[in-house]
Structure 1
Amino acid sequence: MHGPVSPGWLLVALCAATGAYCLLRMRSRVEEQRRTAGTEALMGFGMAAMAVPATVFTPPPWAWPGYAALFGGAALHALWTARADAHHLHHLVGDAAMVYMAVAMAASPGGHGGSGVPVLTGALLLYFTGYVLLSGARLVPVSVPGGAAPGGGRAVAWGDRPELVRACRLSMGIAMVAMLLAL
């Protein structure tokens, strides 16, 4: 996952900003926002930490098993919560991908990235590429009949705006594709 320095820092910034926005969403009055925001913040910050260029910081050998354990626990949580909300199946796939990347990094010499299992990497790339395309299509503006404001004319808090949530999910999907390509 540790590729060139400039794209690495851009990936770190994108993932950290997404994680920070998801933390802010945890304060939302909308229960649906709060339910998923914590998991998405963990994913954003975890991806940011994994994307730090190796020329700047090489994690100690215990970090990769720590990532695997952290995201393994998050995957179990996603599996449990997927009973009530199908969106958590996507979180399950994302957490499993993070576990897979952490194991691949731990298995590579020096922890600088390995090839992983090409079939599994390909399957994850296919899934996240499809997710990115679908998420991007959902951001296309839709005209509101009669020129009414979204939300029935009432003001929507910026942390509760569905297009911002979709944009954050899209950015994390793009970041996951980039990280899998660099694996």
Structure 2
Amino acid sequence: MGPKIQKYFSGEKSKRSVVLLIDKVKILKDADQGMSINSIMRKYNRKSRSTVSTIKRAKENILSQIAEVQGNISNRKRFKKAQHPEVDEALYIWFLQKREGNVPVNHEMLEVQAQKFYSQMVGEGQYGSRGYVDKFIKRYGIRLLKITGEKLFSNIGIIDKYVEEFSMEMRSLNLKPYQIFNADESGLYFKSHFNDDVC
């Protein structure tokens, strides 16, 4: 009995390895430059010829789908579209507008906005759950960041004026630099819930 037949009768399942999208693009680039299927298999540690052949045959489909992806494709294996792509697109445009206006956006805001867009575009029903927002963030490569203090709303133009006025105040009160400290962002949040904002 051959090794494949033995594996079949022994009940062992061969592990299916999925090719990352970024690797599919590299494979297509190498194939376009004339590299043989065997060379590509060795370079990307692929055991199956059919995997490379399938990627080559699906070239146009893969490249067109990658062009539609908004976020980072480095860790993505598949193209998964939202159930209602028009809601997804409207939510992403809304998110970009908020980001451009330096308005922090969190999970709850995305959930509420998704529900509004769903009601306007599709009709009545529940949409915009926590799971949907998680998948939306992953689909578009959005990063979650914690925003503290007034970092987003700092006015760069008045910094020099503030430094000059502060120095004058220190001199008038006869203060030394070691007597000055800032407790604004000391990290003390009594009974505060953890909250991520999307930037």
TM-score normalised by structure 1 residue count: 0.22
Q: Of Structure 1 and Structure 2, which has the larger fraction of its residues in helix?
A: 1
TM-score normalised by structure 2 residue count: 0.21
Higher CA-based Rg: 2
* Higher relative contact order, chain-length normalized (CA < 8 Å, sep 6+): 1
